[in-house]
Amino acid sequence: MNELARRYGLSLSLTFAALTAFWLLALVILPNITLFESSFRPYLPLREVGGPKDVYSVSNYLTFFESPIHIKVFFQTVIYSSIVTLLCFALAYPLAYFLAKVANIKSVPTLFLLLLIPLWVSEILRSFAWFIILSLKGPLSAVLIGLNIIDKPVHWMWGLGGYSGVLIGLVYTYVLFMLFPLYSSMQSLDTNQIEAARDLGSKWWQIHWRVIVPHAKPGIASGCVTVFMLSAGSVIVPTLLASPGSRWFTEVIQQWMFEALDWNTGSAYAFLLLLLCIIFVTLMMRLFKVGLADIAK
């Protein structure tokens, strides 16, 4: 706070602090406290709310643990969100390295502009576009048939247990959220360290493993946390690109809240998803040995 006051003045620093506190209180803390409190209350008709039946219990959480289907969907969401995170890292890492250390500095803004253009389009429209591309008689099947690579149309969204379309859509939607932290952390690395390692006879993979990756750990952790949380909490992409036999955990939450109108059980399910994200953030911090301040940079 003292550093902010020296840099921006006391009044502007207090304004920043007040706006941040309001954002945290009104949009993060209070909604989650309400979510947590509702998750322990039973679903009752409006006339019975506050009556003798309106008591706190763990019955909403037991509903989850007593449902093998919902447990399966929960762990499938965890597994496929982790796969999306790994795929985004595999795609974003070489691109971030190219932009930070290889590409001409004058061309980097243009390349970033080209990468950002898809974000100008709504996520719903992008998901619909992938739905058309991956459909049974979509452009992808038509091109592959024209090239004699396949003999008949393929429903690309039904592979990998019905989650292939979801994986493609989520990777396409969130790969830039992995790219930006990686680029930021790699850009701060002194190029002389890479040249020194190369002059000392290090192979290319040794340079990345021993020089670049250790320096980029905060960016890697930040990108992994962001992509995993966005993927696990996505609703639009799984709804549009999943097969009839595959489900995402957020779809289960949505069904409890908007179809069954049981906001209490839906709150319990949503809090379990929030708990999962907190556990993932903690694991990433332990794995990469970074703090919240490093991830937030």
**Rounded Cα–Cα distance for residues 55 and 53 (Å):** 6
- Whole-number pLDDT of residue 293: 63
* Residue written as token pair 């002389």: 192
Predicted confidence (pLDDT) at residue 108 exceeds the cutoff of 70? yes
What's the pLDDT band for 93 if we cut at 50, 70, 90? very high
Per-residue confidence (pLDDT) for residue 28, from 0 to 100: 83
Calpha distance 222→203 (Å, rounded): 27
Domain limits, the chain: 68-296
Residue 190's pLDDT is what?
Answer: 83
Percent pLDDT > 90 in the chain is: 13
- pLDDT tens for residues 20-30? 888 888 888 88
119-163 tens-digit pLDDT: 888 888 888 888 888 887 778 888 888 888 777 777 776 666 678
Q: How far is CA 15 from each of CA 19, 27, 127, 227, 297, rounded to the nearest angstrom?
A: 6, 17, 39, 31, 21
- Is residue 1 predicted with pLDDT exceeding 60? no
- In the predicted model, what is the mean pLDDT of residues 274-296? 77
Q: What is the percentage of the chain residues whose pLDDT exceeds 70?
A: 93
Q: Angle at CA 73, nearest 5°, toward 72 and 78?
A: 100
pLDDT score, position 295 = 61
**Mean pLDDT of all residues in 70-93:** 92
Say what the pLDDT of residue 159 is. Answer: 65
CATH of domain 68-296: 1.10.3720.10
pLDDT at res. 7: 67
CA distance to 27, 38, 60, 114, 254, per residue, from 35 (Å) = 12, 5, 12, 40, 14
Structure tokens, 42: 């039973």
pLDDT of 160 reads: 66
Closest CA to 131 of 159, 85, 168, 88: 168
Q: Label each residue of the chain as H, E or C.
A: CHHHHHHHCHHHHHHHHHHHHHHHHHHHHHHHHHHHHHCCCCCCCHHHCCCCCCCCCCHHHHHHHCCHHHHHHHHHHHHHHHHHHHHHHHHHHHHHHHHHHHCCCCCHHHHHHHHHHHHHCCHHHHHHHHHHHHCCCCHHHHHHHHCCCCCCCCCHHHCHHHCHHHHHHHHHHHHHHHHHHHHHHHHCCCHHHHHHHHHCCCCHHHHHHHHHHHHCHHHHHHHHHHHHHHHHCCCHHHHHHCCCCCCCHHHHHHHHHHHCCCHHHHHHHHHHHHHHHHHHHHHHHHHHCCCHHHHHC
Which amino acid, one-letter code, is at 51?
G
Which of 233, 236, 237 minimizes the C-alpha distance to 225?
Answer: 233
Q: Is 176 left (phi over 0), alpha (psi -120 to 50) or beta?
A: alpha
- 216, with CB counted inside 10 A (0-12, 13-18, 19+), is buried
**Mean pLDDT to the nearest integer, 78-85:** 92
Residue 294 pLDDT class (50, 70, 90 cuts):
low
| Two tokens, residue 283 | 């694991």
Instruction: Read off the pLDDT band of 203 (50, 70, 90).
Output: confident
What is the pTM (predicted TM-score) of this model? 0.85
**What's the pLDDT band for 86 if we cut at 50, 70, 90?**
very high
Mean pLDDT of the chain: 84
pLDDT of 55 over the 60 cut: yes
